[in-house]
Structure 1
C-alpha cells in the first residue's frame, strides 16, 4: 500500500517571490508528496515559478476576474504522468 502526504493550502496569493520561497520551504519541511494550492493569484506567465527542483506542476488554473487560481504539484520522487494536454490547462 502506498502512503502519500497530501498538503492542501489556501495561500491567499503567491505572486511575491519572498512568499513563494517561504511557502515552498515550509512544504519541504512537511515532506509533501502532493501539494494542492488554492487562491494562487498567479497569471499564466507566472505559473512556472512554482516548479522547482523538487516539484512538478501537474495542473494550474490561472488567475482571471472570476477565479483566483489553483495549482496541483507532485514531488518529483513520485512517478506521475498527466493525461491533460497543455491546451486544456488554462
Structure 2
C-alpha cells in the first residue's frame, strides 16, 4: 500500500519521530513522509511512533491508499526527492 504520513509533535520529539519515519518512508517536506509500505511494516512503524509521542499533545495522521497515486502535483517549491539527497 502507499501511505502519506503527517505529524505534528512537540519540538523535543521531532528528531525521534523523524528518525523512525525515515526507516520506513521517504521524506517529502517538513513533517511529511510518503511511500510504499507493507501492512506489517506499517504496524511496526505505528508501534514505534506510539512509544515516542505523547498522545495528549502530539498527533500523527496516516493516509492509506491501496495503489500509489497516479499523479502528484506540487504548488510552489518542489522539495528534493530522495535521489537528490546526499549523505
Larger RCO: 1 or 2 (CA < 8 Å, sep 6+): 2
Q: Is the pair's TM-score, using the shorter chain for normalization, greater than 0.5?
A: no
TM-score (norm 2): 0.34
User: More helix by proportion, 1 or 2?
Assistant: 2
